[in-house]
């Protein structure tokens, strides 16, 4: 990742170094920061992080490209390979990742925008996009919000580095896999407002229970000052745990319900979405998705309470476009809903409901890939997904992957003769698509799976087959 900054070497060393900074620090100006040596330019600070490889292996490359400063883990062997002038560019730190966070927190502290933090098991990216698009429509370039899904211990610091003296609002998405991660991000960002879009089963492998997941999400309040506000859906799971943490942190909690919380009212629901009123302004929300309606209610409430006019909120809601891979409808011989960016059992059930609403009586076919990070709960939660799909009246269920076969079996038992089920290995795309080609014209085919299942490959193959079949007609 890459960001523009403007600091002298002494300031960066003072913030990041493991010990007292040297009063003889070089008179060097640092103009950018990056974690990739390929993005280094003259004046860059290079931050060597460890993932599949130790980022310190790329320090020589960063120096060859003109890096003016380096974060280096204290005592790392690479220090012995540096020449005297190169050694002078190195800032020794306990941990480059923590030092990156300290520098981002320092940068955020120099400015005073309204900071809104968003997390949730499902819907956090959609909610972040909605909040960001509403405020951007109201305030233009004075608003920044998390790009793509840069919501982790690397993405959040680089989002914070985008804050300038002109920034009035910063919307920061925060994700996690383990307890303590959002705490770290929240203390870095110091939000005034926090939003939890939902509590579900995502990452239960690492956290052990939905209650623990709620506590991990509640860490979003760790960096808030007393008197801040947490927004949650009225029907959020584990509300007691969230409310308890809010009270202990001195944070007010607002429960938001579509149609009952200002400024959003529901006039009608249909296959093409919802007719709404935001204040007195009519909105055609062209998304047949009750989960997204909940996300919109949260976003509208946050904006309304921040003083954004109802007319502006209404215009942003009418124009909302979701990120790629999230309930993208592609029409042809079939209606293919590409919801394959990521998945867990709760989001899958919500997507089925949305697909049924959109289908308006046409058959709905689920093509689901394995849900990851469920650990010992994987079998039971896949089975639950299959049963819920059958209860919802899904016409056919295609399970792809090792654990999704449990969903196929559960769907088959629950649907009996009212539905068809098939199990496939992930690599057998041709066989999956060939079987799908036999579904009836106009069927709504919902494609969803965890990121590692790369369900977009199946979407593209199915779209190609759908287009070819449509041409024959």
Q: Is 99 contained in some domain? A: no
Query: Is 278's pLDDT higher than 70?
Result: yes
> DSSP alpha helices (H): ranges in 110-238?
124-139, 155-160, 181-189, 204-207, 210-218
Are 135 and 246 within one domain? yes
**The predicted structure's pLDDT at residue 398:** 98
| Rounded Cα gap, residues 375 and 133, in angstroms | 36
Q: Once rounded to an integer, what is the mean pLDDT over residues 302-314? A: 98
CATH number, domain at 61? 3.40.1390.10
| Rounded Cα gap, residues 240 and 232, in angstroms | 12
Q: Is 6 contained in some domain? A: yes
**What residues make up the domain containing 366?**
328-472
Q: Can you count the helices (H) and strands (E) in the chain?
A: 17, 20
pLDDT of 171-204, one tens digit each? 999 999 999 999 999 999 999 999 999 999 988 9
**The predicted structure's pLDDT at residue 141:** 97
Are 360 and 306 within one domain? no
Which of helix, strand or coil describes residue 111?
Answer: coil
Q: What is the tally of structural domains in the chain?
A: 3
What is the Rg, in whole angstroms, of the alpha carbon atoms belonging to the chain?
24
Q: Is 301 contained in some domain? A: yes
Q: Which residue has the higher pLDDT, 26 or 377?
A: 377
Interior/surface letters 330-366, b for 16+ CB within 10 angstroms, e for the rest:
bebbbbbbbbbbbbbbbbbbbbbbbbbbbbeebbbbb
Are 249 and 348 within one domain? no
Query: Is 469's pLDDT higher than 70?
Result: no
DSSP state of 178: S
Cα-to-chain-centroid distance, residue 384: 24
Q: Is 103 contained in some domain? A: no
Q: Is 149 contained in some domain? A: yes
Q: Is 14 contained in some domain? A: yes
Are 297 and 333 within one domain? no
Are 263 and 395 within one domain? no
Are 387 and 282 within one domain? no
Q: Count the neighbouring beta carbons within 10 Å of the beta carbon of residue 265.
A: 16
Query: Is 472's pLDDT higher than 70?
Result: no
Q: Is 418 contained in some domain? A: yes
Are 132 and 164 within one domain? yes
CATH number, domain at 351? 3.90.190.20
Q: How far is CA 1 from CA 106, 129, 165, 173, 184, in A?
A: 18, 20, 22, 16, 19
The label of the residue with tokens 């996690």 reads 176
User: At which of 93, 123, 143 does a domain end?
Assistant: 93
User: At which of 318, 348, 374 does a domain end?
Assistant: 318
| Rounded Cα gap, residues 121 and 14, in angstroms | 37
The dihedral sign for the CA sequence 81, 92, 46, 452: positive
Query: Is 25's pLDDT higher than 90?
Result: no
Are 14 and 153 within one domain? no
The confidence band for 279, taking pLDDT boundaries of 50, 70 and 90, is very high
Q: Count the neighbouring beta carbons within 10 Å of the beta carbon of residue 133.
A: 21
pLDDT of 107-161, one tens digit each? 999 999 999 999 999 999 999 999 999 999 999 999 999 998 899 999 999 999 9
**Contacts (Cβ under 8 Å, ≥6 apart) of 43:** 29, 30, 31, 32, 66, 68
Are 295 and 343 within one domain? no
Helix, strand, coil shares, percent, the chain, to 5: 45, 20, 35
Q: Is 236 contained in some domain? A: yes
Among residues of the chain, what percentage have pLDDT more than 90?
Answer: 90
Q: Comparing C-alpha atoms, which of 156, 41, 66 is closest to residue 103?
A: 156
Which of helix, strand or coil describes residue 271?
Answer: coil
The dihedral sign for the CA sequence 72, 76, 78, 84: positive
DSSP line for 117-131? EEE-SSSHHHHHHHH
For the chain, what is the mean pLDDT? 95
pLDDT of 424-446, one tens digit each? 999 899 999 999 999 999 999 99
**The predicted structure's pLDDT at residue 473:** 57
Are 87 and 179 within one domain? no
Query: Is 208's pLDDT higher than 90?
Result: yes
Cα-to-chain-centroid distance, residue 162: 18
Which contiguous run of DSSP H or E holds residue 305? helix 290-305
**The predicted structure's pLDDT at residue 148:** 85
**Contacts (Cβ under 8 Å, ≥6 apart) of 427:** none
Are 149 and 257 within one domain? yes
**Beta pairing, strands 273-278 & 264-270:** antiparallel
User: At which of 59, 93, 127 does a domain end?
Assistant: 93
Are 88 and 117 within one domain? no
CATH number, domain at 202? 3.40.1190.10
Q: Which residue has the higher pLDDT, 379 or 427?
A: 379
């Amino acid at each position: 990742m890459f960001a523009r900054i403007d600091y002298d070497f002494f300031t960066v060393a003072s913030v990041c170094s493991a010990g007292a900074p040297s009063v003889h620090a070089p008179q060097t100006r640092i103009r950018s920061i990056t974690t990739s040596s390929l993005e280094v330019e003259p004046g860059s600070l290079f931050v060597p992080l460890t993932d599949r490889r130790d980022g310190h292996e790329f320090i020589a490359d960063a120096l060859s490209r003109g890096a003016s400063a380096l974060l280096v883990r204290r005592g790392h062997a690479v220090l012995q390979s540096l020449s005297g002038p190169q050694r002078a560019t190195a800032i020794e730190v306990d941990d480059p990742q923590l030092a990156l966070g300290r520098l981002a927190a320092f940068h955020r502290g120099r400015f005073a925008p309204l900071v809104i933090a968003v997390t949730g098991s499902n819907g956090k990216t959609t909610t972040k996009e909605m909040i960001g698009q509403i405020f951007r429509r109201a305030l233009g370039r004075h608003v920044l919000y998390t790009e793509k899904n840069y919501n982790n211990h690397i993405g959040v610091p680089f989002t914070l580095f985008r804050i300038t003296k002109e920034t009035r609002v910063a919307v920061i998405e925060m994700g996690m896999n383990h307890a303590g991660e959002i705490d770290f991000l929240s203390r870095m960002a110091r939000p005034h407002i926090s939003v939890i879009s939902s509590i579900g089963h995502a990452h239960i492998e690492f956290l052990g229970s939905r209650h623990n997941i709620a506590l991990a999400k509640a860490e979003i309040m760790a960096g808030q000052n007393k008197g801040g506000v947490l927004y949650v859906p009225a029907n959020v799971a584990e509300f007691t745990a969230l409310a308890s943490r809010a009270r202990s942190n001195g944070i007010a909690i607002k429960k938001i319900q579509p149609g009952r919380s200002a400024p959003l009212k529901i006039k009608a629901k249909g296959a093409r979405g919802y007719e709404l009123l935001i204040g007195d302004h009519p909105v055609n929300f062209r998304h047949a998705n009750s989960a997204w309606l909940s996300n919109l209610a949260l976003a509208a409430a946050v904006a309304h309470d921040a003083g954004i006019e109802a007319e502006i909120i209404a215009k942003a809601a009418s124009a909302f476009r979701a990120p790629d891979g999230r309930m993208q409808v592609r029409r042809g011989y079939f209606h293919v809903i590409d919801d394959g960016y990521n998945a867990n059992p709760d989001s899958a059930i919500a997507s089925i409901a949305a697909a049924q609403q959109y289908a308006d009586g046409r058959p709905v076919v689920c093509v689901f890939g394995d849900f990851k990070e469920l650990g010992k709960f994987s079998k039971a939660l896949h089975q639950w997904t299959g049963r819920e799909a059958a209860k919802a009246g899904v016409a056919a269920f295609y399970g792809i992957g090792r654990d999704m076969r449990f969903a196929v079996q559960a769907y088959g038992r629950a649907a009996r003769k009212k539905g068809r089920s098939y199990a496939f290995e992930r690599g057998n795309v041709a066989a999956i698509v060939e079987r799908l080609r036999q579904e009836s014209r106009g069927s709504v085919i919902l494609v969803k799976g965890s990121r590692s299942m790369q369900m977009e490959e199946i979407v593209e193959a199915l779209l190609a087959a759908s287009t070819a079949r449509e041409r024959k007609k």
